[in-house]
Each structure stands twice: as structure tokens, then as C-alpha cells.
Amino acid sequence: MVDLWPYLGFDNPDPEFTAPEPLGFLCNVAVGMRLWQPPSSDRWLALTIGQADREFPFELLAAIGEVSPLPA
């Protein structure tokens, strides 16, 4: 499980900091995400459940990529 809270930038001293998209969107709708990388592949898969607001439905969000979705 990857905790998304640190990527919101609340602890970043730069007041202009914003997380790059789509990470910024994920941080605002989900608390954490599951991330897998098959051993024989450069690709990764991430899954999370998010809700933009209490009045909106929960959504299953999936992403596949070739580079790390998380900043170093």
C-alpha cells in the first residue's frame, strides 16, 4: 500500500508546490493505492478506490504506466 498523503505537499516548504498529475488528482480522492510491478516487466499497475466528495459515488481507479508514478 502506498500512502498518498505525503504527495499532497503539506510538508513541502515551497508554497507553490503541487503534485504532478495524475498523482495530484489521486491524492485528493484517495488515501492510498496498491501498486504492483510484474518482475519481468517495466510496467506497473496501480488500483485505488476514490470519492471526490461525499455526494459523489465511489470509483475504482486504475492506472498502468512505464515509469514510476511516484516522485523520488
Radius of gyration for the chain, computed over Cα atoms and rounded to the nearest angstrom: 13
Q: 64 with 45: CB under 8 angstroms?
A: yes
The amino acid that residue 45 corresponds to is L
Average pLDDT over residues 29-45: 88
Chain-centroid distance of CA 55 in Å reads 21
Percent of the chain with pLDDT strictly greater than 70: 93
Burial class (CB in 10 A: 0-12, 13-18, 19+), 1: exposed
Average pLDDT over residues 16-41: 84
The more confidently predicted of residues 9 and 58 is: 58
Indicate the domain borders of the chain: 2-65
